[in-house]
Amino acid sequence: MSQGQIIEPDLKFIKAVKQAGGDTLKKCFQCATCSVVCNLSPAHKPFPRKEMIMAQWGQFDKLIKDPDLWLCYQCNDCTIYCPRGAKPGDVMAAIRAYVYEHYSFPSFMGKALASPKALPLLLLVPIIVIGVLMLSFTGGEFGFMSEEIKFSKFIPHGWIEGLFMGGNALIFLFAFMGLWKFWKGLQSMTPDQSGPGFVSSLIMTIKDIISHMNFAKCTANKPRFFAHALVFFGFIGAMITAGLAVLGLVLIGLESPIPLSHPIKWLGNASGIAGFAGLTILVFRRVKGHDQVGANGYPDWLFLVMLYLVFITGLLTQFIRLADIAALAYSVYFIHLVVVFFLLWYAPYLKFAHMFYRTLALVYARSIGRKAKD
């Protein structure tokens, strides 16, 4: 007589997925329509039905090792066709959020960033750090506000660079520890196929990410392809701009503020406008078309709003400086620094982390011959 298998559901995991936007999970009656309509799901062992079953049964130990979770781009074609309103696209996104919360180091940070109650305290950290730096530099004297607006009179660029480099070094170390465990977890499953080596898989994955080709395959939510590309390239452009500006100002003594005619400014403004436009589309569609555009859980919104604030305050800082309204310009610049460092210092615990986890999972999936349907 065959032995039955006793399944121990992880109730904490089920609760967390429901809270993170996967509250419809239990509606699934496993008809598999979602796996059929998904334009990315491979024919062999398709997703997301199997992930819905694992999630319903609280099988988090299996889901954290499942690269298919990350082949899903949350287009929600499956959600549109699900006869039970189980929203598998949202459930997959909520499970991914739980994965990087699970691997976060130190673990209390993952929990804090997943909880709205911790937000005031988390915001207070960059406010205090930047506030103390500003006060120690200015000595609480704001006479410079009657002169030409120069943000280096508020906080020297070198200090910002120090915060940026020092904070990032620590954060990348913490992020690496979580990503390493994630990679080991993926490797612990025995694949039933084989694929190209690591380097080839990495190159193909980077091509997929840059081309956004998998977003383009979604049908229910086509504008997401364009919006995500604008945000993605806008963010990369903004990071390159920030690096070049600090290098120019600190190392080669570039004129401050950098003139509008300088190529660094062109790149910065083009990136800011691209990011702002992309995020406006994403937020607008979420608010207007709730069912078709993906999870609306707290982690999702926190990341979107913070990134949106980075682009908005970045553009406003420049416009208000040009309008020569000193008190407002310095205030908005202060807010800009707070949201930038919030995003950077908490990157491994925000939805930001999905960028790194997804990249690793896609490389691993390629290396075992698993990829989105062509």
Residues near ligand SF4 (CB under 6 A) are 28-34, 38, 40-41, 47-49, 52, 72-78, 82, 84, 86, 88-89, 92, 218
Query: Using the 8-state DSSP alphabet, how is residue 304 labeled?
Result: H
Report the residue number, 35 or 313, with the smaller CB distance to ligand SF4. Answer: 35
Helix extents (H) in the chain: 11-17, 33-37, 49-56, 60-63, 77-81, 88-102, 107-113, 119-138, 157-187, 198-211, 213-216, 223-246, 263-288, 298-322, 326-345, 354-367
Smallest gap from residue 35 Cβ to ligand SF4 (A):
7
Distances (CA, A) of 210 to 56, 170, 250: 34, 27, 31
Smallest gap from residue 337 Cβ to ligand SF4 (A):
36
Smallest gap from residue 215 Cβ to ligand SF4 (A):
9
Distances (CA, A) of 162 to 61, 179, 190, 217: 40, 25, 44, 42
The identity of residue 364, as a single letter, is Y
Smallest gap from residue 55 Cβ to ligand SF4 (A):
10
Alpha carbon distance 50, 152 (integer Å):
55
Smallest gap from residue 9 Cβ to ligand SF4 (A):
17
Report the residue number, 71 or 231, with the smaller CB distance to ligand SF4. Answer: 71
Q: Among residues 337, 274, 349, which one has the least CA distance to residue 310?
A: 337
Smallest gap from residue 271 Cβ to ligand SF4 (A):
28
Alpha carbon distance 129, 341 (integer Å):
10
Report the residue number, 55 or 310, with the smaller CB distance to ligand SF4. Answer: 55
Report the residue number, 87 or 102, with the smaller CB distance to ligand SF4. Answer: 87
Please compute, for residue 167, the number of CA atoms within 13 A of its CA located in the half-sphere on the CB side: 19
Smallest gap from residue 251 Cβ to ligand SF4 (A):
44
The residue to which tokens 């995991």 are assigned: 13
Tell me the chain's radius of gyration from C-alpha atoms.
23
Report the residue number, 18 or 153, with the smaller CB distance to ligand SF4. Answer: 18
SS3 67: helix
Smallest gap from residue 82 Cβ to ligand SF4 (A):
3
Report the residue number, 221 or 318, with the smaller CB distance to ligand SF4. Answer: 221
Report the residue number, 87 or 321, with the smaller CB distance to ligand SF4. Answer: 87
Contact 246, 165 (CB under 8 A): no
Contact 356, 175 (CB under 8 A): yes
Report the residue number, 53 or 135, with the smaller CB distance to ligand SF4. Answer: 53
